Amino acid sequence: MPRRRVYTVMYGFMYRAACPDCGRVIDANEGEPHVCVIDVRRAVADFEAAFALWLETPSGRFAAWDAARRR
């Protein structure tokens, strides 16, 4: 799950800050919290690795065969 970062307003003034992980400039008055691209890439890479391992199991091989058969 990607980490979410929420930046607050100091001393009543809006400010911008850089994300310490990805370097993206975050505007404090953005409505959505920042989700680092690096964290999302890690989550996708972890999912792909787990999926590749699952495809090597008997149920994964059957699911791949069945998907190819249904095409």
Among 39, 37, 31, which residue's Cα sits nearest to residue 7? 31
d(CA 48, CA 57): 15
Confidence of residue 66 (pLDDT cuts 50, 70, 90): very high
Q: What is the pLDDT of residues 13-40, one digit of tens each?
A: 556 777 877 878 887 777 777 778 888 8
Distances (CA, A) of 27 to 20, 31, 34, 58, 63: 14, 9, 9, 49, 45
